[in-house]
Amino acid sequence: MFEWFKILFTPTEEPEMTQALIVLFLAISVGFFVGRIKIGSVSLGVSAVMFVGLFLGHLGFSMNAELIQFVREFGLILFVYGIGIQVGPSFFSSFKKEGLIFNALGVGTVFLGGIITYLIHLLANVKIENAVGLMSGSVTNTPGLGAAKSTLIEIQKQLNLPLDHFSDPTVAYAITYPIGVFGIILIIILAKNFLKIDLSKEAVLLNEKNKDSENKIVHQKCRVTKPEVIGKTIKQVFKEFHIDNVIISRQKQSGTRVVYSPSLESIIKEKDVLMVVAKQKDIDTFIDIVGKVSTDLLIESQDDVTTKILSVTKKTATHKTLAQLDLYNQYDVKVTRVIRSGLEILAQPSLELYYGDTLMVVGEKHAIHEAEKIIGNSKKILLEPDFLSLFGGLIFGVIIGSIPIMIPSLPVPLKLGLAAGPLMAALFISRYGGVGVIHSYINNGAIHFMKDFGICLFFAAVGIKAGHGFYDNFIGNNGWMWIYYGCYITLIPLTLLVLISRFVFKLNFYQMVGIMSGSYTDPAALAFSTKYLDSDIPNQSYATVYPLVTISRILVAQLLILLFAS
């Protein structure tokens, strides 16, 4: 009677589609549960899906070859595209100041790992595809593994090689993956102890260091007392004292309760109270010029002038500058700041607006209501998935990844592939707000779902496929030696990164830990470090190096395969 049920959960050589889907969903659901189990303060997270997939594959469960390849590649594309959209805006801005040093350290770690991988291939006689699998697992880099597998398939097609000509690098990846997770955590703990890090002192030093470069937009009240500015227009004061990057959102004259949003032609009178919006250092400079800090509470009244947050959802506002919209002259509404992908940007006239931007505006209620018709501010539209933009962006990424780059002496053209292509497309789209009808806005919930769903599909597919004969491969290839080799790839670059970061560039320990986690694209290590250090500071340097490191790891994995695969 229940024969159909038994068929669904009995391993077969040629599974039906229903059983293949059951196996895929089982790997993901059980993997998510296992990933939440903590050993101390460390958990495997979503990577546990791969180990559950390995176990199911070992038991004999499988999926159709074409289906498993589709699931693997589609999952990888979703994952890297979500990463690119999420970190794109902060990635480009990070190249200012310390971001260049952070990325140089991260990319240097990648290439050192590549050199060690080649030496292992050369000296230990490990096949290059297995060595690249060791490298990808030892640094927990999934896109690098995906790029290596895609390159191997491309070589097989171009040179008409049999399907079993190359070993599957996933086996080596799975064997060394735990080394990558726990190795970086070990180095973080050892670095803190050997360098005798005082976390409270490090936090104070970092705060002092960032005081002058603080990018957060704030507002502050000031009272006009300096005779040099009294009787002049705001425009004249800005020009005469070379004031940039400052917006005056409200003005109230002494002895009155009336608050209004001033224009550049508004005259500054004695004892006026001004609400200033800018970075803290620019506010301090402005207050020194015009007067002193004020404690006036009436200027914050919402009776005459109110503040509201509007979201850009109409084409009439997308890809137009604030000067072109001219909201102040048309509706007497002033934009003070723009929030984009979690970053606050001062509302300069030349700032171009993107779909999904959040504007903080100041003005009278009826005026804001009129401006809202131009901006859109439809929360419902922002919650609805825009599949045209999403899949249009994915198409753009696949096209970029498929462009052949001819390099002499290589057996096949170099391609960015299905890992780096979508990542670069997402970074480009998020940097410029979109390409044609494709825009960069995806709400946070959708991004997290896309990333987690994509990586789950990838891990489940590679785990199930590698699970077949995993034990035999482990014994046949002397898996304990692979773990030993993986320790070199994990620990040597990290140790040098710590020494150079600390003693050459004098980096703060919080920042250094973020670079370490980002260089190994290891979210488990990042989660551990934020809890271990009780700080979110490592997240910033992690996001700074992650995109470029990911692209570098993809290219290094491809080059090793193309140069040395036989």
Q: Residues 538-547: what's their mean pLDDT? A: 79
Containing structural domain, residue 85: 64-206+388-456+481-564
In a domain, 366, yes or no: no
Average pLDDT of every residue of the chain: 83
* pLDDT, tens digit (0-9, with 9 covering 90-100), for 453-502: 888 888 888 788 777 777 777 777 778 888 899 999 999 999 999 999 98
Task: Write out the two tokens for 321.
Answer: 């500058």
Confidence at residue 274, expressed as pLDDT on a 0 to 100 scale: 92
Residue 242 neighbours by CB under 8 Å, 6+ apart: none
566 falls in which pLDDT band (50, 70, 90)? low
pLDDT > 70? residue 210 = no
Query: What is the 3-class SS of 341-355, one letter each residue?
Result: CCEEEECCCCCECCC
In a domain, 188, yes or no: yes
H helices of 9-64, in order, are: 17-35, 48-59
111 falls in which pLDDT band (50, 70, 90)? very high
Residue of 16 and 399 predicted with greater confidence: 399
Q: Residues 138-144: what's their mean pLDDT? A: 84
> Quick one: which H or E segment has residue 133?
helix 128-138
In a domain, 440, yes or no: yes
106 falls in which pLDDT band (50, 70, 90)? very high
In a domain, 73, yes or no: yes
282 forms bridges with which residues in the sheet?
none
Q: From the centroid of its chain, how far is CA 36?
A: 22
Q: Residues 133-160: what's their mean pLDDT? A: 84
What is the pTM (predicted TM-score) of this model? Answer: 0.74
Length of the chain: 566
Which three-class secondary structure state does DSSP give residue 566?
Answer: coil
Q: What is the DSSP string of 465-478?
A: HHHTTHHHHHHHTT
**Domains identified in the chain, total number:** 1
Residue of 413 and 375 predicted with greater confidence: 375
- Cα 58 to Cα 39: distance, rounded to the nearest angstrom: 25
Q: Residues 137-165: what's their mean pLDDT? A: 81
In a domain, 276, yes or no: no
Confidence at residue 527, expressed as pLDDT on a 0 to 100 scale: 65
Q: Residues 444-451: what's their mean pLDDT? A: 81
In a domain, 545, yes or no: yes
In a domain, 415, yes or no: yes
In a domain, 108, yes or no: yes
Residue of 42 and 389 predicted with greater confidence: 389
* pLDDT, tens digit (0-9, with 9 covering 90-100), for 72-104: 888 888 888 887 887 777 677 666 667 888 999
Confidence at residue 224, expressed as pLDDT on a 0 to 100 scale: 92
Query: What is the 3-class SS of 176-222, one letter each residue?
Result: HHHHHHHHHHHHHHHHHHHCCCCHHHHHHHHHHHHCCCCCCEEEEEE
Closest CA to 511 of 542, 534, 532: 542
> Quick one: which H or E segment has residue 252?
strand 247-252
pLDDT > 60? residue 364 = yes
Q: Cβ(313)–Cβ(354) under 8 Å?
A: no
Q: What is the DSSP string of 353-392?
A: P-TT-EEEEEE-HHHHHHHHHHHB--HHHHHS--HHHHHH
